[in-house]
Chains A and B, each alone.
Chain A
Amino acid sequence: MFSTNPFAAVIDVVPAGLVQSFVVLMAFAVAIGTVLDVYHKGSGRYFAQRRARAKAAARRPMNAMRKATAVVKGLAEASVSGEFCKWNRRLSHLLMMYGFILYVIATVMLVFALPEAAAPGPWVALWDLGALMILAGGAWFFFFLRVNVAYDGDSRFHVGRADLFVLLLMGSALLGLLWHGVQALSASAGLNLTLFGIYLFFTALLFLSVPWSKFSHMFYKPAVAVQRKLEEASGASDLPDPTPRRRTRS
């Protein structure tokens, strides 16, 4: 199973260019969906206002070195989901985030660089590993860590619009694994293509639903972390310093 490129069986039937075009289209869908999301939620305007306020409240001049350090710190925080205060939420998000990154990179490699059946290198195994990480982190989050389940008393199976992203992400990963597993069992070409069609449908929904789902929060979070670090570095943060003081300052 780990040595056979799952996309090779499709590329035997469908031109490779068509499958590659689908991947490129999905990348465009994410970019356009994120722009629409930023527009309709007013996030772009909010970030611009906050930046202007922080600039006006800055206490220290920000040279290029300070800015670069703050940006690196913000990105480092986002890369380990450092904004989470609870380890279990953090770990489930890290599993989903790095699983998804692995899954996307491996897909691109398998579709563009290694479309032959016996794909060399670790990419097939990494594709499966990415999907498994998504499933593990996603199921953990969905059944045990969703805040409306943990605090608002909703059922573990309650589904709302906020769950669109995690459900589609898990759906894509699960169907991908199922499709790959069925291929490994030497199933008929008809069953293989049917499963591929279902997999493709859910994967397309995942990327086309960006304006309505929480997909774009994976881009907002690093932006917020960087902005917060820049505010801290320039002294513009409105939060007090918890160092004990005896006298008030005016």
Chain B
Amino acid sequence: MPTYTDMTRCDGCGECVDICPSDIMHIDPVYRRSYNVEPNFCWECYSCVKYCPQHAIDVRGYADFAPLGHKVRVRRDVDKGVIAWKIRYRDGREKAFSFPIRTTAWGSIRPPADYAPPGRHELDSPLLAHEPEALNIAALPSLSTPNEKV
């Protein structure tokens, strides 16, 4: 069920290109709108559909197993911290769902680029970068070594 872009809604901002984990959302060289360059490789993660600020991307169901005329639309509201889905069946019935996206405020989590780069000596450490302080704990639990056994 590959994604496709409604070219009249797309403003060519490139957010879908940036977020697509398969790197298959590209920019059309003629109209400078996004499009799916390799529909077979789209695994319908819906990342671009959710992230598109213009709601210009939709997912097309294959006719052999997805009923014609159905629709699955999604809208992410960052301010409310909610993601809403609307499912429309081919007979016209609709179902709507809303879910909270997260429990912390949008933008409150520091991205990795905001942290200082780790020094070379930290390559020898079993800890990941900025652990344990980035996890908001004093220390990670560890197994005792054989020498410490009593």
Contact = CB atoms under 8 A, between A and B. Distances in A.
Contacts of B12: 147
A151 B17 contact: yes
B27 A148 contact: yes
Contacts of A147: 12-14, 17, 27, 32
Interface residues of B, number: 39
A148 B8 contact: no
B102 interface: no
A238 B71 contact: yes
B96 A240 contact: yes
Contact of B85 (A43, A46, A240, A250): A240
Nearest to A43: B8
Q: Which of A43, A146, A228, A248 has the most CB of B within 10 A?
A: A248
Given A162-B28, A248-B97, A85 B84 contact: no
23 contacts: A46-B8, A84-B13, A85-B15, A86-B13, A147-B14, A147-B17, A148-B32, A151-B18, A152-B17, A152-B26, A152-B27, A160-B30, A214-B31, A214-B32, A240-B74, A240-B96, A240-B97, A241-B96, A242-B82, A242-B83, A243-B84, A248-B96, A250-B93
Interface of B: 8-9, 11-15, 17-18, 26-32, 53-55, 71, 73-77, 80, 82-86, 88, 93-98, 100
Interface of A: 43, 46-47, 83-86, 89, 146-148, 150-152, 160-162, 214, 220, 224, 228, 238-245, 248-250
